Chains A and B, each alone.
Chain A
Amino acid sequence: MANLVAIKEIKDVARKTPIEIFPDPKIAVMLTNMQNGATNAPLVSVGDSVIIGQKIADAKERISAPIHSPICGKVIKIENAYNSCFEAPTEAIFIENDGKKTKDKSLSPISESELKTTTNEVLLKIIREAGIIGLGGAGFPTHVKLAVPADKKIKVLIVNGAEGEPYDTADERLMIEKTDNLLRGVRVIRKILGNPKVIVVTKDSKVEAIPKLQATFGKEPDTEVVAKHLTYQQGDASMLQKAILGYETPSGKRSYEMGTIVQNVSTINAIANAVFEGEPLISRVTTLNGDIAKPKNYLVKIGTPISSILSANNINVTKKDSVVVAGVMMGMGLPTLDAPITKRTSSIIYFKAKKGQKSTVCIHCGRCLSACPARLQPVAIYNAVVKGDFAKAEKLSSKDCIACGTCSYVCPARVPLASNIKMAR
């Protein structure tokens, strides 16, 4: 792993900016699907009144996660909307805010002292009903990830506080400001997984978070806080596991089969909120960064239109600009600002008059090969994909790609390697 490419972080201001609560939206655009799993169907119809935390979309399948209303109000329409989870517009429930603060209480929380006596079934049920998915980007339902088969013993829980994306600081602020809540969340996961060893991992550059984590997690039994020099790519769960534990999960296997679970801090925060406060996943911390004077970290309701966040910061977006959500390396460019905040929107990055990188012909320099953290041959996979030869792409291990984007980042010819390889996956 000696060849990992260092990518410059643009976090100096954002990481020092405390989390601010963003006002509730006038109209919340709730995508019925933000998870990586079975498709949800709306549980409400146009004209229905809904309250904060009320479940408004769900599916029957196991690998699914419901959606909840973030505000009190009325369903005004159900139609497709642009979003940052999927390339094409998908179904969304539009809710008009009536300003009331009535909360749905169907998620029955527990107290911290009750944790020991609460069964895993109950805990996993709360996590499922709260609609929690992997907030680090994967969007995989957390209750499924944590329901490890009985014959597999989890030895290590890695708390992923690496936050590799070069513009994102939401996780970092959580580690600074919500350290106690994270500890509560870790205790829940630990209870579910049969008390594995805990390794809290963060980057050496997160200087404010490190002492907080050490103070809070230091007294916890069998728990270690590791502040390491990590590159962007090592924020990926499989890469982080390799960096901390030294082994690679065999291709095609899931990390729990090797006795390790990696959980992102934002997800852990959401678990604590659900289990102890009875709050479903209706808000998240999002970083606003990029070509702006004052970067922000917002605790924002899911469904809030991104346009309202930008205009609240007096950012006048023109047709020449671009707005990227969920990280500059792996995130999506938005076609329209009407797109709402989703569970997976870890950041909003604004670029002024960003020119599209003009793609030219590959010069065969081989930089993508030496840069690939998964040791793939990006340009070979790319060539196969361009020819439509997906069988060959798969033979070249396209499925082992972690979609980190490093190949495109280093490419001197600006060949769109990463986005094409993503197609092969």
Chain B
Amino acid sequence: MSNESSNELVVNTAPHIHGTMTKNRMMQYTFFAILAVTIVSMALWLNVKTPSGWDLGLTVAIGALIAVGIAVGVDLLIGKLASDSEVNTWSAAVFGLIVINCYTLGFPTMAVGLETGVPVEAPLAFFYIALISLIGIVVFKKVMSLAGKKFVNPAAAAKFLVLLPTLPTTLITAFHLKTGLLQVPALAGGISASSIINGNGGAAFGFYLQSCYGLPGLKSPASIESVMFLAKYHGWVGGASSIAVIIAGIALFVLARKYIKWKITLSYLISIAVLSLMFSFIYADADLTTRLFFELFIGSSIFMAFFMATDPATTPYSGVGQIIFGVGLAILTIVIQTYMNFFGGSLLALLIMNLTVPLIDRVRINKPFGR
């Protein structure tokens, strides 16, 4: 923008002053917001042991270091090797944090991982986290940047790609129905908060939530609401505490006001709530909160809503587009979770919605001045 060579002065194009917000600052704010969430998860999970004796909190800490380290390191390396590549240390660090936070850890009570060899436990988990971070930064951040546009959320895409081989065994919960220690009823039917094993041998949905997401080894499990909202011990690292995600997320919205796409988060959460209640009526659930709290507050829903669905590069730029995106994401998420039994299906929903962004960006409701 400036041309110092042939002129007596530095010549810039108008405007000659700028606002205080820069890409780096946005990324710094985002980094510290997600870091806060990561620390809360780590603290909550400290001293919780997996079946093979690994400390879950320690797993999160090491995983975070691995993911961020690889992302930042590879970003720097590519910046060194390819002179025209932008080095975005903060952006890479944010990506690394998202990788660890959208990784699924836990299964403390189910021990499914032990039976099936799925990568939910350290030290195998570290290998997968490293792989996701590496593939994400190289393929989905750097290579897509060369194409001029990021089409899909790098962390979501990399996780999906790396864990695709384990899709039927790990990601899709239907498998748990058949092989897990716990018989889980599907969402495509009436569910209830009941803690009693129901007649056909399967657990009531509420019981599943309490025992799968609650603190393992607790004699009388905490209420579904407190488990889902305050402290979970299974699932996405970033979703351990929904309230922590909400507080950090809102703090970020306030700090980086007008630069973070909060309309996506809001429209997504409202749509999820409305759709959950609709499904509750359709399937005549025994109560209205169980399905609602599950759909709203599982880690893949709440963490994604605040920190992944708002990724600037892979979401629509207009306000109307962001609302369309949020609503679409909610519909897809609920459908995938209900009919595919893919709990955490928001990951797939996000990738699909990301691909629709170029189309959504063409939607134009705001008429220009004087038209």
Contacts and interface: CB of A to CB of B under 8 A. Distances in A.
Interface of A: 5, 7, 166, 238-239, 242, 248-253, 317, 319-324, 327-337, 349, 351, 354-361, 363-367, 369-371, 373-377, 379-380, 397, 400, 402, 405-406, 408-414, 416, 418-419
B39 interface: no
B369 A319 contact: no
A270 B2 CA distance: 36
Contacts of B369: 238-239, 242, 248, 251, 373-376, 400, 402
Nearest to B26: A412
A354 B23 contact: no
Interface of B: 1-2, 4, 6-19, 21-23, 25-26, 86, 145, 258-259, 261, 312-319, 322, 361, 364, 366-371
Ranked nearest first, the 5 interchain pairs of A and B with the lowest CB-CB distance are A356-B2, A366-B317, A405-B15, A419-B13, A374-B369
B371 A250 contact: yes
A365 B259 contact: yes
B8 A367 contact: no
Contacts of A367: 21, 258-259
Given A365-B259, A365-B312, A366-B312, A354 B22 contact: no
B21 A377 contact: no
B14 A321 contact: no
Given A319-B4, A369-B318, A248 B370 contact: yes
Nearest to A362: B313
Given A328-B15, A405-B15, A366 B10 contact: no
B13 A400 contact: no
A330 B364 contact: no
A358 B12 CA distance: 10
* A5, A248, A253: most-surrounded residue (chain B CB, <10 A): A248
A175 B258 CA distance: 36
A382 to B, nearest CB: 12
B25 A376 contact: no
Contacts of A377: 317-318, 364
Given A333-B16, A356-B10, 14 more contacts: A320-B10, A321-B10, A329-B15, A332-B14, A333-B11, A365-B317, A369-B317, A377-B364, A400-B371, A408-B13, A408-B18, A412-B21, A412-B22, A414-B1
A337 B361 CA distance: 44
Secondary structure at the B interface, as helix, strand, loop or mixed, is loop
A419 B14 contact: yes
Secondary structure at the A interface, as helix, strand, loop or mixed, is loop
Given A248-B370, A366-B312, A409-B19, A322 B10 contact: yes
Contacts, number: 177
Contacts of B258: 367, 370-371, 410
A357 B18 contact: yes
A329 B14 CA distance: 6
Contacts of B259: 365, 367, 412
A322 B2 CA distance: 10
A360 B86 contact: yes
Given A366-B318, A416-B13, A374 B312 contact: no
22 contacts: A319-B10, A322-B16, A328-B16, A330-B15, A333-B12, A335-B9, A336-B8, A349-B16, A360-B86, A364-B315, A364-B317, A365-B26, A365-B312, A374-B368, A377-B364, A397-B368, A408-B18, A410-B258, A412-B22, A413-B22, A414-B1, A418-B14
Contacts of B15: 328-330, 405-406, 408-409, 418
B219 to A, nearest CB: 49
A324 B318 CA distance: 33
A416 B14 CA distance: 8
Contacts of A323: 9
Nearest to B361: A380
B21 to A, nearest CB: 5
A295 to B, nearest CB: 16
A288 to B, nearest CB: 15
A418 B7 CA distance: 22
Contact of B22 (A249, A320, A327, A414): A414
Given A333-B9, A349-B16, A412 B23 contact: yes
Nearest to A399: B368
* B21, B316, B367, B368: most-surrounded residue (chain A CB, <10 A): B368
A33 B322 CA distance: 47
A228 to B, nearest CB: 19
B349 to A, nearest CB: 20
A366 B261 contact: yes
Contact of A335 (B7, B16, B371): B7
Given A373-B369, A412-B25, A324 B16 contact: yes
Given A250-B371, A319-B8, A322-B12, A366 B18 contact: no
Contacts of A320: 4, 10
